[in-house]
Amino acid sequence: MLSSCVRPVPTTVRFVDSLICISSRSFMDLKALLSSLNDFASLSFAESWDNVGLLVEPSPPHTVNTLFLTNDLTEEVMEEVLQKKADLILSYHPPIFRPMKRITWNTWKERLVIQALENRVGIYSPHTAYDAAPQGVNNWLAKGLGACTSRPIHPSKAPNYPTEGNHRVEFNVNHTQALDKVMSAVKGIDDVSVTSFSARIDNEEQTRISLNCTQKALMQVVDFLSQNKQLYQKTEILSLEKPLLLHTGMGRLCTLDESVSLATMIDRIKRHLKLSHIRLALGVGRTLESQVKVVALCAGSGSSVLQGVKADLYLTGEMSHHDILDAASQGINVILCEHSNTERGFLSDLRDMLGSHLENKINIILSETDRDPLQVV
């Protein structure tokens, strides 16, 4: 009897220990969390006009136990945030976009900022960084089409140049010229990296000089070379481009493995987005039985991204009236699902991906009140 009474004790101890261990892991420092979020999808992917990143920061130090995901941060959603005692809101759309000249109780966006700060809740928005990311919103939207291959419509560029500087200058130096003097001069200019190699031109041994430099250094390099007409006349100046990023960028051009009718594609999209209705503009000469092989899509507002793209179907949340007419005149069908309906479903996938990426160190919850403001009545 004694031994049977003793056995459960280690199990109980281990259970308590595990609870203590989980509790001790159930938060992250805000700055560490922001770094991890950027590792998940770099804010450098975002469009230059966008307002992304940490928008509201409680006074440090600030720890995060619960991360709250929403597509839009409205006052109704903020009430839910406070009820659930979240420490950081990840709002896909930035609630602060245009500059604020004052923080008062007069407008709903100002009230959001006040409530966040008073309750020590941070606000973070990734917006177009998540649009462009390989595992982001547009990639999720494409999953509803069926088996297909896809690529970004407008690929993103790397944030930095692969080498120092954004210009390359190349010229040849005859061995009879003062090679050491030339090399010494260009190496003495700041922000310049120099390489050289042998080259045979017109049966003459020469040295090819190749250097990368910044815009500021380029002026000094050109000034030096212009002092030697023989060097200057044979100088090539190249403007370097940042490399394109694989699978990263705005929109997706999707080619289905097998063509399907437009009616079948409509059913797939409704099922993926959990919608009972969508808006459809038939392309000129098209019917519901017309075949769809190539789909160009853009979550949210797709006019600027989809314009001029050749496809059987455009899929987006909203487009301007005249852009729809232009697409239809080219025989392109257009499906509109309302802006945030093409984005919100991604948050369920995001919760799972972030949970894995953050090693389940914090609680991640989805808003239950966030919804598209437009309804079909």
Query: What local confidence, expressed as pLDDT, does residue 18 receive?
Result: 37
> Would the CA dihedral through 113, 119, 122, 123 be positive or negative?
negative
Radius of gyration, CA atoms only, the chain: 29
Is 28-126 a CATH 3.40.1390.30 domain? yes
Please give the biggest Cα pair distance in the chain: 103
pLDDT digits (tens, 9 = 90+) for 141-160: 999 999 999 999 999 999 88
Helix (H, G, I), strand (E, B) or coil at 279: strand
**Residue among 161, 165, 169 at smallest CA distance from 221:** 169
Asked if residue 339 belongs to a known ligand binding site, the reply is: yes
Query: What local confidence, expressed as pLDDT, does residue 176 receive?
Result: 63
Residues of the chain with pLDDT under 70: 1-25, 175-177, 233
Asked if residue 131 belongs to a known ligand binding site, the reply is: yes
Q: Where, residue-wise, is CATH 3.40.1390.30 in the chain? A: 28-126, 133-156+247-342
Query: What local confidence, expressed as pLDDT, does residue 177 receive?
Result: 62
Give the fold, CATH level 3, of 133-156+247-342.
Answer: 3.40.1390
Q: Where, residue-wise, is CATH 3.30.70.260 in the chain? A: 167-239
Asked if residue 247 belongs to a known ligand binding site, the reply is: no
Query: What local confidence, expressed as pLDDT, does residue 22 receive?
Result: 40
Asked if residue 321 belongs to a known ligand binding site, the reply is: no
Whole-structure pTM value = 0.83
Query: What local confidence, expressed as pLDDT, does residue 6 receive?
Result: 38
Spatial distance between the Cα atoms of 331 and 325, rounded to a whole number of angstroms: 10
Q: What is the dihedral of CA 74, 75, 76, 82, to 10 degrees?
A: 110
Specify the CATH architecture of the domain 167-239.
2-Layer Sandwich (3.30)
